Amino acid sequence: MQSVLWGIAVLACPVGMGLMMWLMMRGQRKDHGDAKEQQVAQLRAEVEQLKAERAKGLR
């Protein structure tokens, strides 16, 4: 019985660390996704602006 408790105690630290790392990485991905969406929207607006400038130059 005592060896089982020691085994649980020894595994508690690495398992807890792994869980914390996983949760932190999961949170960063969500933040990164928002930044990507903003960047895509900004690039699309820039493309539309360049298209408008190009259309004015062809007239």
Residue 51 CA to residue 57 CA, distance in Å, equals: 10
Structure-token pair, residue 12: 């508690």
Report pLDDT digits (tens) over 3-47. 999 989 888 999 999 999 998 888 776 666 677 888 999 999 999
Regarding pTM above 0.75, the answer is: no
Residue-level pLDDT at 25: 86
